[in-house]
Amino acid sequence: SELIRGFLLSGMPCPSSCPPGLLALMAPGLALIATFSLPSQAGDRRALPVEKPPGVKGRTLILLDVNTKSPVRIISENFLSLQLDPSIIHDGWLDFLSSRRLVTLARGLAPAFLRFAGKRTDFLQFHNVKNPAKSRGGPGPDYYLKNYEDDIVRSDIALDKQKGCKIAQHPDIMLELQREKAAQMHLVLLKEQFSNTYSNLTLTARSLDKLYNFADCSGLHLIFALNALRRNPNNSWNSSNALSLLKYSASKKYNISWELGNEPNNYRTLMGRSVNGSQLGKDYTQLRSLLQLIRTYSRAHLYGPSIGRPRKNVIAFLEGQVVFMKVAGGTVDAVTWQHYYIDGRVAKVTDFLKTRLLDTLSDQIRKIQKVVNTYTPGKKIWLEGVGMTSAGGMNNLSDSYAAGFLWLNTLGLLASQGIDVVVRHSFLDHGHNHLVDQNFNPLPDYWLSLLYKRLIGPKVLAIHVAGLQRKPRPGRVIRDKLRIYAHCTSYHNHNYVRGSITLYIINLHRSRKKIKLAGTLRDKIVHQYLLQPYGKDGLHSKSVQLNGQPLAMVDDGTLPELKPRPLRAGRTLVIPPLTMSFYVVKNVNALACRYR
């Protein structure tokens, strides 16, 4: 033990002369002298203040090991999923979902769910018409609107002639006109959002075809949220329009899962009419009965109630006198809720670096799990519509590199707490929370999501960490600025044999940190995927580099190769300040990771 303590306090790794297996014996004793440690569930860390010995000035040697015997959680293969907001009907982007470039980008994040829902879900009406020229609505610049509409019609005719996946190559001038129209509509959509007053929206049969074609071609499973605010005089759900949509989808044999409404706890604010948990539970039961009457959807999945952030009124919605969970808990296949971290109108770049903000999600998870486990123990829980900021986000902030700290921590925290699926708002929309911008260029959170999909498998592993840190000021709460998560490496990645482990690390410190792999990870070859901002904008950058090389699409149909940087066996991992990184530890032969 004296030998162990000596090497720890000197900040140096154990020399080759150490007895075999010494590092494996170090973990139990480290808890006595470490400044922070992790319990069995990754993501829930507490810092322990310890006096630093003289001569150690701010250096941190972190020893890291992973429990490779069994996973602590197993999440869905579709864990990281996507959302499209119905606003894309208003601003015209739905007509461009057949773009080869968009399909390529979405396909990179498959397998995943594609949730079609948002604030305008409950103002959406289905209209079974095919002629796009006559059924299209929404304002556009008068001087080009007619020609623009004609271009859309010609594009639709060309798509109709294709079999299988329908892919379009839109001319640059057509995309430029669409961006002009979308810019005008953006002001309208923002005005609706800030006034909380939304206009009705029409989804035509042709628009539904385009939406399903995009999901199907991209390898995504479509989840469609039906309008829950069509109400009968007695406040029960009016299902007539939903039935029309269901029948049309069934006639096309579309494989779709379903939801009903979006953030029902906000209905009074939206429409001056509330729908309590008991009534919505009955509405879900009615929808389940409707699905069972249609052969195509008799076994379709149903998710809900997609409540807002679990504040007092939301928990009351779930726990009311006759609760939603009691009425419809057995009807839904997963219980869903939503979470936004920051008001996009007041956000600052420093907000994304605050550990206090990163930790707010933990409390939300506990509240939801408590309610769900009370009424339907074991029911899967999803976080839907998650965004880094509300109110559509902020340009050069929620679409920048800095937003990735929240996003990656969200993924790690949810997986470690057993949340089965997280749905990112949004893949493409009018705001600044999206993964892809209106030039169809991937933003930093897209590349972060792509790395996650390529490297992270569904099995979550427990990690054990110990190290040295400065003594905190008296009374100050130490919050962990180094977030470390571990999973089995994705089985779909054929560059790594089964049994490999992937670590992903968020360093919020303004100094580099050093990590020494110990125990089962000791002396293994490691592949590094270090993601940093690219260009002079720093944390505000909308471009990223991987191991020093800028990331960009090769062409409209090809994503770049994500090349790792091999590190020699036994090398200390050096984590640069304010960065996110992935490390694949090869050939660990972890028992937990050998089999699917």
Q: What is the DSSP string of 131-168?
A: -HHHH--S---HHHHHHHHHHHHHHHHHHHT--SS--B
Residue 150 has pLDDT above 50, yes or no: yes
Cβ-contact 309, 343 below 8 angstroms: no
Lowest mean pLDDT among 411-420, 476-485, 506-515: 476-485
Domains, the chain, in order of start with CATH, read: 75-129+157-458 (3.20.20.80)
Residue 295 — very low, low, confident or very high, per pLDDT cuts 50/70/90?
very high
**pLDDT score at 15:** 39
Q: DSSP 3-state assignment of 480?
A: coil
User: CA triplet 337, 339, 344: central angle to 5 degrees?
Assistant: 150
Give the tens place of pLDDT for each residue, 499-545: 999 999 999 999 999 999 999 999 999 999 999 999 999 999 999 99
Report the half-sphere exposure of 179 (CA within 13 A, side-chain side). Answer: 11
User: CA triplet 74, 352, 394: central angle to 5 degrees?
Assistant: 110
**pLDDT score at 292:** 97
Share of the chain above pLDDT 90, in %: 60
Longest dimension (CA), the chain: 83
Tell me, rounded to whole angstroms, the distance of Cα 287 from its chain centroid: 27
Residues in the chain: 596
Higher pLDDT, 556 or 146: 556
Query: What does the block give as tokens for 338?
Result: 């939503």
Task: Tell me how far apart the alpha carbons of residues 468 and 211 are, in angstroms, rounded to a whole number.
Answer: 53
Higher pLDDT, 46 or 78: 78
Task: Tell me how far apart the alpha carbons of residues 501 and 523 are, in angstroms, rounded to a whole number.
Answer: 14
Residues 534, 503, 414, 121, CA torsion sign:
positive
Residue with tokens 């800030």: 194
Q: What is the mean pLDDT of the chain?
A: 84
**pLDDT score at 49:** 37
Higher pLDDT, 152 or 135: 152
Question: DSSP string of 78-116?
Answer: T-EEEEE-THHHHSSGGGGTTBHHHHHHHHTT-SEEEEE
User: Average pLDDT for residues 253-275, to the nearest whole number?
Assistant: 90
**pLDDT score at 395:** 74
User: Average pLDDT for residues 59-64, to the nearest whole number?
Assistant: 76
Higher pLDDT, 62 or 26: 62
Residue 32 — very low, low, confident or very high, per pLDDT cuts 50/70/90?
very low
Q: Is the pTM of this model over 0.75?
A: yes
Share of the chain above pLDDT 70, in %: 81
Lowest mean pLDDT among 119-133, 152-166, 299-313, 316-330: 316-330
Residue 346 has pLDDT above 60, yes or no: no
**pLDDT score at 39:** 34
Cβ-contact 309, 317 below 8 angstroms: no
Give the tens place of pLDDT for each residue, 361-395: 998 899 899 889 988 999 999 999 887 766 566 77
**pLDDT score at 480:** 83
H helices of 390-441, where?
404-416
Strand bridging mode 302-307 / 334-343: parallel
